[in-house]
Amino acid sequence: MDRKVRMGIVGGGYGAFIGAVHRIACRLDGYIELVCGAFDVDPNKSKEFGKEVFLPSDRVYGTYKEMIEAEAKLPEGERMDFVSIVTPNHVHHPVAMAALSNGFHVACEKPMTVNVQEAKELQQKVRETGLLFLLTHTYTGYPMVQHARKMVQEGQLGKIRRIVVEYPQGWMAQRTEDTGCQQASWRVDPTQAGGSFTMGDIGTHAANLAETISGLKITEMCADLHTYVSGRKLDDDGNILLKFEDGATGLLWASGIAVGEENGLNIRIYGEKGGLTWRQEEPNTLIAAWLDKPKQILRTGIDEADDTRVPPGHPEGYLEAFANLYVHFAKAIADVKAGKSASPQTHGFPSVDEGVRGMAFIEGAVESSKKQSWIKFPV
Amino acid sequence: MDRKVRMGIVGGGYGAFIGAVHRIACRLDGYIELVCGAFDVDPNKSKEFGKEVFLPSDRVYGTYKEMIEAEAKLPEGERMDFVSIVTPNHVHHPVAMAALSNGFHVACEKPMTVNVQEAKELQQKVRETGLLFLLTHTYTGYPMVQHARKMVQEGQLGKIRRIVVEYPQGWMAQRTEDTGCQQASWRVDPTQAGGSFTMGDIGTHAANLAETISGLKITEMCADLHTYVSGRKLDDDGNILLKFEDGATGLLWASGIAVGEENGLNIRIYGEKGGLTWRQEEPNTLIAAWLDKPKQILRTGIDEADDTRVPPGHPEGYLEAFANLYVHFAKAIADVKAGKSASPQTHGFPSVDEGVRGMAFIEGAVESSKKQSWIKFPV
Amino acid sequence: MDRKVRMGIVGGGYGAFIGAVHRIACRLDGYIELVCGAFDVDPNKSKEFGKEVFLPSDRVYGTYKEMIEAEAKLPEGERMDFVSIVTPNHVHHPVAMAALSNGFHVACEKPMTVNVQEAKELQQKVRETGLLFLLTHTYTGYPMVQHARKMVQEGQLGKIRRIVVEYPQGWMAQRTEDTGCQQASWRVDPTQAGGSFTMGDIGTHAANLAETISGLKITEMCADLHTYVSGRKLDDDGNILLKFEDGATGLLWASGIAVGEENGLNIRIYGEKGGLTWRQEEPNTLIAAWLDKPKQILRTGIDEADDTRVPPGHPEGYLEAFANLYVHFAKAIADVKAGKSASPQTHGFPSVDEGVRGMAFIEGAVESSKKQSWIKFPV
Amino acid sequence: MDRKVRMGIVGGGYGAFIGAVHRIACRLDGYIELVCGAFDVDPNKSKEFGKEVFLPSDRVYGTYKEMIEAEAKLPEGERMDFVSIVTPNHVHHPVAMAALSNGFHVACEKPMTVNVQEAKELQQKVRETGLLFLLTHTYTGYPMVQHARKMVQEGQLGKIRRIVVEYPQGWMAQRTEDTGCQQASWRVDPTQAGGSFTMGDIGTHAANLAETISGLKITEMCADLHTYVSGRKLDDDGNILLKFEDGATGLLWASGIAVGEENGLNIRIYGEKGGLTWRQEEPNTLIAAWLDKPKQILRTGIDEADDTRVPPGHPEGYLEAFANLYVHFAKAIADVKAGKSASPQTHGFPSVDEGVRGMAFIEGAVESSKKQSWIKFPV
């Protein structure tokens, strides 16, 4: 039986950050093998980069189209099983559509596309093809995030009343995009990033985290986005009031200019009977508070052992969370290859529906902020 | 010379919380002497309570009017110098007006009144009489809050961009007002508390903290208040988007239903060059973050020695912060008695102007939430 | 009835630290009134200092002998009830003996004397006179320390196996005694401080904390004391292996040269079924760990309401802990004055027996370190 | 050029913990390929386990001898480059000797052997063969541990005075070895684990961490080891006083019975000018304290970027630290294969000399505890 799953990559060459992360995440648990890639818009750079990652030269392609065509012709058991898309946002949609059209499963970075329209097309395509689609909302791969979600589902917190989710970063507090940092420049370029920097790059993670843990969908929003660093075309900071299903309310803020913040995603969620606090930078701890008993310190490996590799107190972090999503996705692909059914729901990974909501969140934030008023959530 | 300052108290008898706090705060540093009181609306209970605090019976009064009249007739050096008002909110205004009219300085709990109209009358009265007025925004009495304020004033953070201030509590997550808890029942009674529970009781502290540290005034707000516990006439939770002078923006939330939160006032403030984080529950630490050097842990007694009594690492807390305000106020009164000039600005304590802004904040929050839209700050 | 308790002070004048702390601690709760003092070895300075603390000049004395004689002649209801001794260590014994001999209760700073011999004399004197004696091991006045003690007593942790207690400070990492700091100079002068700086000044607090919480007495010790700052006659750092009754073992270390440490007393105690962690610098939190359930965050005001003044989340600190000891002591004195029985055990405060053990701990540490070997605990 | 490095594994089959960790650590960065293994003392289980890790059956061996012989016959470029030994302690020595004798580099779990004698033989063998030897003292692979080491080397802390290193765990507080947990049973079996459980399993990590960061060697020790859980032949808890070169002193404790502790390795180190604190469970933070400026929070990715893979705030943990050691080791092997020189010092990894000191530490601890006295460090 062929349990190893084969990955091709589009993007993630020299100067990229998230491409390397995807490669590590895939290698970590030994289920996924990188077999091909189109790493750069410059075919020469793509070729050269292929050597860095030990690929044979005939599996390193100049363009994603070339890769998809060539791989499709290879025999099963040799050709890639799925494409991982780690390009700037505006390239997600065409690559994903091409991959799906040629029968390949897709793993895609968030935000899924640059607008809701594209997102819905992709959703439609996934439904039509029946292929698997992984949207890498990394932070849902942490064991304590899944534990929080389970606690809410089991009703331990009672009816949810309030959600506060924050995603502060400080690396864009100055004109980082002028320093030759490729990571910075595309993120504040509307043609590559879409309509919002903060909400597209990080706010969408925060919104997804809130919806994932609470199981509640955002229904209304009132946003106030700002550009603090002069000369930027996109926002670099934003605050949003939220209303959720079932009467819950909340706050979301995301910022690139919060000096001193590294990657400070965190969430607090309060129900009738209990409350939870989780911080991404110390991801193995989940604080649970209760109406009538002491606060508890819940810990990876003790209170939640799923998706862990080492005993309690041996910290697992971001790469492991990322790997968890890929393991779930790889197992789904392996099951499909073995003739079994598999889905995001059964195998546990974020997918194209989350992508559509993510794009709607971004568009809604931009619209609400422009109008300076409450709006209904766009989808 | 007569440096001791004499205090009379209105309110704070049996079952009260904040009255005891005022008495401790005044005793702590030995500058203030409690000389008289009208502790309860029931004159018998007032008399009885006077014994508890070691007052001679002829200085324990049945009503505040009686107290103000009688004390006014006593010779200087014997009569009270100021009245401390620790009643439910709706009684602040009449007592303060009577005290000021009879030549007594006033210390008053927040929120200062039950509406802006009353607050402005009091402001006018203070201006006319030239008497001193202390509004006990306790949290500004912490050394590290004052240190943060100085750092902003000195421009260490650069221009301020973003302020996040939170005041979560969880004690009202259930119908605490039905348990015989007097603290709870008056706070959710509109006739005693005014138009908002969360914004009047705690949100006004948060707003004051943000304005005090940043030196920036709120100019616009968009609030969303809620009542989660059924049967309540006032909100028990609320979120507010803020705009400040000079283009800064922010968020404020306050809640009585945030299960597991005790008295979680905290603030984060981000400027062009640095950021600060302070949490009331661990008040002796202030985290400072910088664009280009490591984060610093600033500490009471090391980085800020003003208004401290013991060496670093000997924690001073809420009562000491409270006492700091009273010490500043008492020194101002002593200076006035010695024929010198004194004011909230020169001696460092919150006063009637902060009270007017506080009432405007509360009314604005209620109005904005009702309209579900942005409004200009009411004053 | 006369419930107020009257205090006289010996020591604690200009330049002193702990004298001011005792005065604040006594004022805090309103049960104790400072009525007289002999504040300085220089009678003029003593007189002058008396004015600072609002004492009438006829109750400010030139020497402790003068004070004890004069006060003894005053009528009950006017004369002091107890003497608080806040001088350097070598003066504790003579003052305490004189006070007890004249019928006054005594509150005394630790270490109780400068050697075990003196300590035993004092113990004998207390037993003979039947008077009350408070040894101000401040840290046992924290509510969460008392809570920890109760948890151990109730068997919640099971049989105690291991105790780790630390008291790091960093203020003596350089020659602080050369900077004119009176606090530093007497502490490293053998004629005033006794045989050890670290073990006398702070190690004895740590040993007392360990014995108080665990309820177990130290039986053997192996110490290694050091002097790191050149020119000092006493140690400024030390490590000690401990054995306790019932087979428990432990570690104690104390240091004046631990750069960056403020007043870092902390304890961890592990039993068969649970473990506890408490840190003096964040004294309102006690972490409890269990064999088979999540760690708990226990909090002042929620899990332990005794000896608190304000609701949970309003931090009480060092001065309040100090005041707690004085309140217990004052209540004991008031009971004695009212003809009731009272003792350290019934009213909850450290006394002369703890003082004898403290002196034995210090002498044992010095002896064991000199011998570089294990010794039996000296008493 | 052949930059990939090939690994063979001895041990780490079903039920093992550390074998899986080694495999993940080697995969993480893509430089090392698992090519063969002898996973279990039962050849059938070894074969079966080989399938789990996707090895071809002809590269899965029944015994380590078989593996070493067979691999030695394979051509370069195909045969393994090094053997990773992840068996119980008593098997380390024979496998390592065999591997080295046949020209293979060796990676070996700690403790290196079961006694000093074996350790010295291995040291001699490594010197004779000139082959590379990695001892997996994982915790030195954390970026902030290396940063701390550099800070000490650069003299930022001044002369080191005091070192406190702790390694508390709680998983052996009960008879875990009776629950079928293979991890527990061999660790308390003297024939497999050597003379000490706590000092062999975890104390040796702590001692290595102290020596690595401080650059100072332990010269004397006074240990007190205990067995708290009845029926155990080896200690499960221990305290040690330490003296280091150059007059530094310290404390080390390690425990398997510290209820509530997971994997709590931590170190505090104090010099004349500064102090450092590092905790393994939050490994991306290093607190630096200074005589005359505020404490600093140093962070992985900001203050130390070496050996990191993702931006600041994306936590890297235990597996990444492990991988760092393997990357350094693999680069050294690749350099040797490319005809360059390479050593533990030039490439940065712990080796056989640390192994000898580790074994001496364990033997010294046992001897000192038996004698209940100070001893010289055995090597």
Residues 6+ apart with CB under 8 A from A339: none
Res. A1: pLDDT tops 80: no
- Within 10 angstroms of residue C225's Cβ, the number of other Cβ atoms is 24
- Within 10 angstroms of residue A124's Cβ, the number of other Cβ atoms is 12
Interface membership of A202 toward D (CB under 8 Å):
no
Interface membership of D372 toward A (CB under 8 Å):
no
Q: Is the Cβ pair B298, D294 closer than 8 Å?
A: yes
- Within 10 angstroms of residue B157's Cβ, the number of other Cβ atoms is 25
Q: Which residues on A lie below 8 Å from B251 (Cβ)?
A: 239, 251, 253
Which range (A345-354, D187-196, D323-332) has the least confidence? D187-196
Q: How far is C91 from chain D, CA to nearest CA, in Å? A: 33
pLDDT band at B150 (very low <50, low <70, confident <90, very high): very high
Q: How far is C324 from chain A, CA to nearest CA, in Å? A: 24
Tell me how far apart the alpha carbons of residues B137 and B122 are, in angstroms, rounded to a whole number.
17
Tell me how far apart the alpha carbons of residues C99 and C72 are, in angstroms, rounded to a whole number.
9
Rounded to two decimals, the ipTM of the complex is 0.95
Nearest neighbour of A297 by CB, restricted to C294, C299, C303:
C294
pLDDT at D183: 86
Interface membership of B281 toward C (CB under 8 Å):
yes
Tokens representing C156 are 């919640």
> Do the beta carbons of residue D267 and residue D210 sit within 8 Å?
yes
Q: How far is A203 from chain B, CA to nearest CA, in Å? A: 16
Tell me how far apart the alpha carbons of residues D302 and D313 are, in angstroms, rounded to a whole number.
9
Res. B2: pLDDT tops 80: no
> Do the beta carbons of residue B63 and residue B43 sit within 8 Å?
yes
Q: Is the Cβ pair A263, D30 closer than 8 Å?
A: no
C328 to each of B42, C344, D111, how far by Cα in Å? 32, 9, 54
Task: State how far Cα D211 lies from the chain centre.
Answer: 13
Q: Is the Cβ pair C313, B17 closer than 8 Å?
A: no
Please state the rounded mean pLDDT for residues D287-307. Answer: 97
**Nearest chain B residue (CA) to C309:** B21
Q: Which residues on C lie below 8 Å from A298 (Cβ)?
A: 294
CA neighbor of D331 nearest in space, from D81, D142, D125, D130: D81
Tell me how far apart the alpha carbons of residues C346 and C333 are, in angstroms, rounded to a whole number.
12
Please state the rounded mean pLDDT for residues B365-373. Answer: 98
CA neighbor of C324 nearest in space, from C139, C110, C87: C139
* Separation of first and last alpha carbons in chain C: 42
Please state the rounded mean pLDDT for residues B260-278. Answer: 98
Q: Is the Cβ pair B162, A237 closer than 8 Å?
A: yes
Tokens representing A146 are 């899944």
**Nearest chain B residue (CA) to A225:** B249
Tell me how far apart the alpha carbons of residues C196 and C225 are, in angstroms, rounded to a whole number.
9
> Do the beta carbons of residue D19 and residue D9 sit within 8 Å?
yes
Tell me how far apart the alpha carbons of residues A82 and A334 are, in angstroms, rounded to a whole number.
11
Tell me how far apart the alpha carbons of residues D372 and B112 are, in angstroms, rounded to a whole number.
69
pLDDT per residue as tens digits for the range C230-241: 999 999 999 999
> Do the beta carbons of residue B80 and residue B35 sit within 8 Å?
yes
Residue type, B191: T
Ordered by where they begin, the domains of chain B are: 5-139+320-351 (3.40.50.720), 140-312+358-376 (3.30.360.10)
Residue, of D269 and C15, whose pLDDT is higher = D269
Q: Which residues on B lie below 8 Å from D299 (Cβ)?
A: 294-295
pLDDT at A100: 98
Q: DSSP states of B127-162 as a string?
A: HHH---EEE--GGGGSHHHHHHHHHHHTTTT-SEEE
If DSSP codes are grouped into helix, strand and coil, which group holds residue A60? Answer: strand
Q: How far is B200 from chain A, CA to nearest CA, in Å? A: 20
Q: Is the Cβ pair C315, B313 closer than 8 Å?
A: no
pLDDT at A2: 57
Res. C350: pLDDT tops 80: yes
> Which one of A276, A297, A298, A300 makes the best mutation probe of the C interface by having the most chain C beta carbons within 10 Å?
A297
The set of chains that have 3 or more CB pairs under 8 A with D is A, B, C
Q: Is the Cβ pair B310, C171 closer than 8 Å?
A: no
Please state the rounded mean pLDDT for residues C175-182. Answer: 91
Q: Which residues on A lie below 8 Å from C298 (Cβ)?
A: 294
pLDDT per residue as tens digits for the range B38-88: 999 999 999 999 998 889 999 999 999 999 999 999 998 899 999 999 999
Q: Is the Cβ pair B255, A289 closer than 8 Å?
A: no
Nearest neighbour of A309 by CB, restricted to D3, D312, D319:
D319
Q: Alpha-carbon torsion B106, B108, B114, B120, what sign?
A: positive
- What are residue B321's phi and psi, to 5 degrees? -60, -45
Q: Tokens 């035993």 — which residue?
A: C120
Interface membership of D171 toward A (CB under 8 Å):
yes
Interface membership of B319 toward C (CB under 8 Å):
yes
Please state the rounded mean pLDDT for residues B293-300. Answer: 98
Q: Is the Cβ pair B259, A164 closer than 8 Å?
A: no
pLDDT per residue as tens digits for the range D215-264: 999 999 999 999 999 999 999 999 999 999 999 999 999 999 999 999 99
Res. D141: pLDDT tops 60: yes
Res. C2: pLDDT tops 60: no
Interface membership of A285 toward C (CB under 8 Å):
no
Nearest neighbour of C297 by CB, restricted to A297, A299, A303:
A297
Peptide bond before residue C190 is cis, with ω within 30 degrees of 0: no
Res. D1: pLDDT tops 50: no
**What is the 8-class DSSP label of residue C300?**
B
B31 to each of C46, C288, C323, how far by Cα in Å? 20, 41, 18
Nearest neighbour of C296 by CB, restricted to A295, A302, A303:
A295
Chain C segment 87-106 residues within 8 A of D by beta carbon are none
Please state the rounded mean pLDDT for residues A33-59. Answer: 93
pLDDT per residue as tens digits for the range C136-170: 999 999 999 999 999 999 999 999 999 999 999 99
Mark out the alpha helices in B89-219 (DSSP H runs): 92-101, 116-129, 143-153, 182-187, 190-193, 198, 204-214
Q: Tokens 């630790």 — which residue?
A: C110
pLDDT band at D2 (very low <50, low <70, confident <90, very high): low
Interface membership of D291 toward B (CB under 8 Å):
no
**What is the 8-class DSSP label of residue A246?**
G
Give the whole-number percent of chain B exceeding pLDDT 90.
Answer: 93
pLDDT per residue as tens digits for the range C17-51: 888 999 999 999 999 999 999 999 999 999 999 99
Interface membership of B251 toward A (CB under 8 Å):
yes
Q: Is the Cβ pair A24, D28 closer than 8 Å?
A: yes
Give the whole-number percent of chain C exceeding pLDDT 70.
Answer: 99
Q: Alpha-carbon torsion D110, D114, D116, D118, what sign?
A: negative
pLDDT at C357: 98
Nearest neighbour of A319 by CB, restricted to D299, D309, D311:
D309
Q: Is the Cβ pair A294, C303 closer than 8 Å?
A: yes
Rg (CA), chain A: 20
Q: Which residues on B lie below 8 Å from D303 (Cβ)?
A: 294
Interface membership of B201 toward C (CB under 8 Å):
no
- What are residue D269's phi and psi, to 5 degrees? -135, 130
